[in-house]
Amino acid sequence: MFNYLLVGYDGSPSSQRAFQLAVGLARACHGRVRVVSVLQVTEGGADACALMMADSGAQRAQELLDELTAMEPDARELVDVEVVHGSPGDVLLGQVEQHGVDHIVIGHTERGALARWLLGSVSGDVLARANVPVTVVR
């Protein structure tokens, strides 16, 4: 049913549950899970952006894989990880086209109305614009 599931992962409890659900679905469907952690520059302008770009993506990806396999030890063979800089909604939706993703699983963290207005909601953005099924985990 699902060949390649995408999980947006930020380390929050809801993203951890989203990862665990995606792994369960992948096992049931003999599929794979792509886990993407998006690093977003919100303050600091060009200097902060340059520092983030110089950061070792490979090291962060390995740390992410270690964190994920601590939750699901036998999932290492099912999981692809990537750490990307950008806007979370845009990056996740771009992954769908780039990698042939056929289902997105994303966590939702409850925020107040002001925070949602100022920062937006990644899960809401993905739900509104995705052209593949989306499961939102609370």
How far is Cα 14 from Cα 135, in angstroms, rounded to an integer?
12
Alpha-carbon span 113 to 77, nearest angstrom: 40
Q: Are 83 and 60 in contact (CB under 8 A)?
A: yes
Q: Where are the beta strands (DSSP E) in 1-138?
A: 4-8, 32-39, 79-85, 103-107, 134-137
pLDDT at 119: 41
Mean model confidence pLDDT for the chain: 85
* pLDDT category of residue 78 using cuts at 50, 70 and 90: very high
- pLDDT band, residue 58 (cuts 50/70/90): confident
Residue type at 41 in one-letter notation: V
- Please state, in angstroms and rounded to a whole number, the distance separating the CA atoms of residues 72 and 83: 19
Sheet strands (E) in 9-137:
32-39, 79-85, 103-107, 134-137
**How far, in Å, CA of 38 to CA of 113, rounded?**
23
- Mean pLDDT for 44-61 is 64
Indicate the pTM of the whole model: 0.85
CB atoms within 10 A of CB 24: 15
Cβ(59)–Cβ(52) under 8 Å? Answer: no
Q: Tell me if 132 sits within 8 A of 103, measured CB to CB.
A: yes
Tokens (6 digits) for 68 = 């994920």
Q: Write down the pLDDT at residue 115.
A: 42
Does the domain spanning 4-137 belong to CATH 3.40.50.620? Answer: yes
